[in-house]
Structure 1
Amino acid sequence: MAHVLVIGASKGIGLATVKRALACGHRVRALARSAGQIRLRHEALEKVPGDALKADDIAAALDGIDVVIQALGVRPGHNMIFGPITLFSRATQILVPAMEAAAVKRLIAVTGFGAGDSKASINCLQRIPFRLVLGQAYDDKTLQEQMIKESNLDWTIVRPVVLTPGPRSGRTRVLVEPESWRNGLISRNDVADFLVKQIEDDSLLHQAPVIAY
């Protein structure tokens, strides 16, 4: 079992990943500015208040860690449309050299369908609304992906499609080849399950699959 650092652990995919990793027997260090508000207790859980944009917080959080899961998110609203959004690239600019300095090699990072080269797979009808609502965030996720790909880390980039509530379904499809990439739906709990499976599975090293139903 691994000692896992989850960055962005207080809500959404991050919180679901914390819960799933604990259920699978891993030790988890949950980093978030509001980590103290995580309503979860477990002997293998360490809640660490910290900021993904502060180098000292990240360096301290990496101590003794085997695997990092980066699951950052921004709140929907005005800023997503009018931006600028720089959270993903700025946090990654701090995380990558910190991991390299700490000799923590394994990084599993969540971006999304529409980031990087998956942008070309958005169909024509969806392209304009996607750009209007999510363009700022996904431009920054594209920078995030580029930084990760240029690193010396053992990385896997995970690109979920539209997120939904709901339990794990076991129906996740892993779309590796660009010709198979498409939009769709997937629950946060299925994304979390997929992320946790990557902790002990290196079959997708240096790949950026889209995951969907």
Structure 2
Amino acid sequence: MAHVLVIGGSRGIGLEAVRQALEAGHRVRVLARTARRIPVRHPNLETMAGDALDPVTLRRALDGVDAVILALGIAAGPGMVLRPVTLFSRATRLLLPAMREAGVPRLICVTGFGAGDSRDRGGCLHRLAFAVFLKRAYDDKDIQEQLIRDSDREWVIARPGILTDGRRTGRYRVMVEPETWRLGTISRADVADFLVRQIDQDRYIGTTPALAG
């Protein structure tokens, strides 16, 4: 079993990934500003409260781990629309060289349907939502994805569609080829299921699959 660092594991997809990685028998370390507040207790769980944009904290968090699940998120609100978003790219610029220095080979990252070359695949309503609400965040996710693509790590970038709070089903589509990409809904629990499976599987290394239920 692996020792996994989850960055952004205090809520949403990241918290689901923490739960499922522990269930799968992995040792888990969580790095998040509110890591000590997460509602999970387990002998194989270590929480580390800190900022993913702090290089010293990152180096400590990466010590002894085998893989990283990067599940950063930002709160929805006016700031996401009105101000530039740089969290995703800034964190990734720091993380990749830190992983190399620490000898951590694998990065499993979640962005979203509409990032990178999936931007125009969601239809008219999806494009309108991007133009009004999501463009700044996804412009930064585009940079993040390119940084990961250009790196020398073993990477997988998951692009889930519209997220729900449904249960984990294990029944979802993993669409690797661009001609198969379709926007759909998927539970955060099922996204986490995919992320955790990539800890010790190689099938999707170097790909950017879209996920939908």
Give the structure-2-normalised TM-score. Answer: 0.98
- TM-align CA RMSD: 0.8
Deviation at 1:210, TM superposition (A): 0.3
For 1:95-141, what per-residue CA distance to the aligned partner results, in whole angstroms no more than 9, with x for missing partners?
00100111111000010000001112121232122221111100000
Q: Which runs of 4+ in 1 moved over 3 A?
A: none
Which residue does the alignment assign to 1:170? 170
1:154 aligned onto 2:154: yes
Task: Give yes or no for contact 2:120–2:127 (8 Å, CA) kept in 1.
Answer: no
Partner of 1:121: 121
1:19: which partner in 2?
Answer: 19
Cα displacement string for residues 72-91 of structure 1 (whole angstroms, at most 9, x for unaligned residues): 00000001111211000000
The aligned counterpart of 2:142 is 142
Q: How does 1:97-116 map to 2 (within 5 A)?
A: 97-116=97-116
* Structure 2: distance between partners of 1:49 and 1:42: 17
Shift of 1:5: 0.1
Q: 1:58 maps to what in 2?
A: 58
Partner of 1:91: 91
Q: Which amino acid aligns with 1:125?
A: L
Identity %: 57
State how many pairs are aligned: 213
Q: Aligned AA for 1:162?
A: I
Shift, 1:201, TM fit: 0.7
Give the whole-Å Cα distance in 2 for the aligned partners of 1:26 and 1:122.
Answer: 35
Partner of 2:201 in structure 1? 201
- Unaligned segments of structure 1, at least 5 residues: none
CA distance in 2, matches of 1:111, 1:125: 19
Q: Report the TM-score, using the length of structure 1 for normalisation.
A: 0.98
* Distance apart, 1:195 and its partner CA: 0.4
Amino acid across the alignment from 2:9: A
Within 2, Cα distance between the matches of 1:203 and 1:44?
Answer: 27
Gapped runs of 5+ residues in structure 2? none
| 8 Å contact from structure 2 (residues 13, 191) kept in 1 | yes
